[in-house]
């Protein structure tokens, strides 16, 4: 009997996408402006950065997990925890820039070509990060045929729409990020602000970025971004340079520790696990 493919040549089994080489990098700066030294703050007997690195290492399909820091103290601590760390300049103005200066080392650790490699930037202040988000990012990167930049988003609750501490993202119909802001997006002209959520979906931004290796390596060639300087959001440099940012939805945000109150919240949450 002829096989199905011969009888129906237009029907073929779905071929899963080839998973990319993946490396995770965690920029870790001691001189945080809002909560200095936070990446080494104790949470349940471990520094916050160690919690982040260990959660990243749980993600399947990751070739390596690095810390990237300008602090010898951080580099020495990472070595004792069993994680490689790369020294970066003090002058780096953002986490993405910190990773970009060592992009070649990160891509080499993943073992693939730069244009095929996914470098995932995980913030060093996310001790409750779900490793499944990293796995989902790698799967989306493969499914979408390696977009330049990829980032997760989540539906915002009504009470967070006007919170300037929550970063919002305005999405195009195809899921591409149009822009990011600390202000509510979109602005609903003919409704009271407390009713805006009745008229449009609002999306928050989870602070992870998945960079194609060659795009990350070109960070230093991007022009300065006035919007980035105004909003203090590094992803706006990409938007202004015309580099598309693809998004994919996740169920919820991940706690980022920016204040002493959030540090106490992280301690309570991790203690309850």
**CATH of 19-272 among 3.30.2320.30, 3.90.1530.30, 3.90.70.10, 3.90.550.10:** 3.90.550.10
Give the model's pLDDT for residue 13.
55
Sequence-ordered strand ranges (E) for 21-148: 22-27, 42-43, 46-47, 64-69, 85-87, 118-122
- On whether the CB atoms of residues 159 and 166 are closer than 8 A, the answer is no
For 107, 199, 212, 235, 237, the CA distances from 115, given in Å and listed in that order, are 9, 40, 6, 20, 20
Give the model's pLDDT for residue 79.
95
Other CB atoms within 10 Å distance of the CB of residue 196: 18
Q: What does the pLDDT profile of the chain (273 residues) look like in tens digits? A: 444 334 444 544 566 678 899 999 999 988 877 788 899 999 999 999 999 999 999 999 999 999 999 999 999 999 999 999 999 999 998 999 999 999 999 999 999 999 999 999 999 999 999 999 999 999 999 999 999 999 999 999 999 999 998 999 999 999 999 999 999 999 999 999 999 999 999 999 998 999 999 999 999 999 989 999 999 999 999 999 999 999 999 998 888 898 899 999 999 998 888
b (16+ CB within 10 A) / e for 161-176:
bbeeebbbbebeeeee
């Amino acid at each position: 009997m002829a096989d199905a493919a011969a009888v129906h040549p237009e029907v073929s089994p779905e071929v899963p996408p080839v998973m990319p080489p993946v490396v995770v990098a965690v920029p870790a700066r001691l001189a945080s402006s809002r909560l200095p030294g936070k990446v080494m703050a104790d949470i349940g007997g471990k520094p916050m950065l160690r919690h982040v690195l260990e959660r990243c290492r749980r993600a399947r399909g990751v070739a390596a997990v690095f810390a990237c820091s300008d602090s010898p103290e951080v580099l020495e601590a990472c070595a004792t925890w069993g994680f490689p760390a790369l020294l970066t300049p003090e002058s780096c103005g953002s986490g993405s820039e910190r990773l970009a200066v060592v992009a070649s080392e990160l891509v080499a650790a993943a073992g693939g070509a730069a244009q095929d490699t996914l470098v995932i930037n995980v913030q060093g202040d996310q001790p409750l990060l779900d490793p499944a988000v990293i796995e989902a990012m790698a799967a989306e990167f493969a499914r979408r045929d390696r977009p330049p930049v990829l980032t997760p988003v989540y539906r915002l609750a009504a009470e967070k729409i006007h919170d300037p501490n929550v970063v919002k993202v305005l999405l195009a119909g195809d899921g591409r990020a149009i822009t990011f802001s600390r202000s509510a997006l979109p602005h609903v002209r003919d409704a009271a602000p407390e009713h805006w959520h009745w008229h449009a979906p609002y999306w928050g931004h989870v602070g992870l970025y998945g960079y194609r290796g060659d795009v990350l390596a070109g960070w230093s060639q991007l022009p300065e971004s006035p919007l980035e300087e105004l909003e203090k959001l590094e992803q706006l440099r990409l938007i202004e340079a015309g580099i598309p940012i693809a998004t994919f939805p996740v169920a919820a945000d991940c706690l980022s520790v920016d204040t002493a109150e959030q540090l106490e919240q992280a301690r309570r949450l991790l203690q309850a696990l």
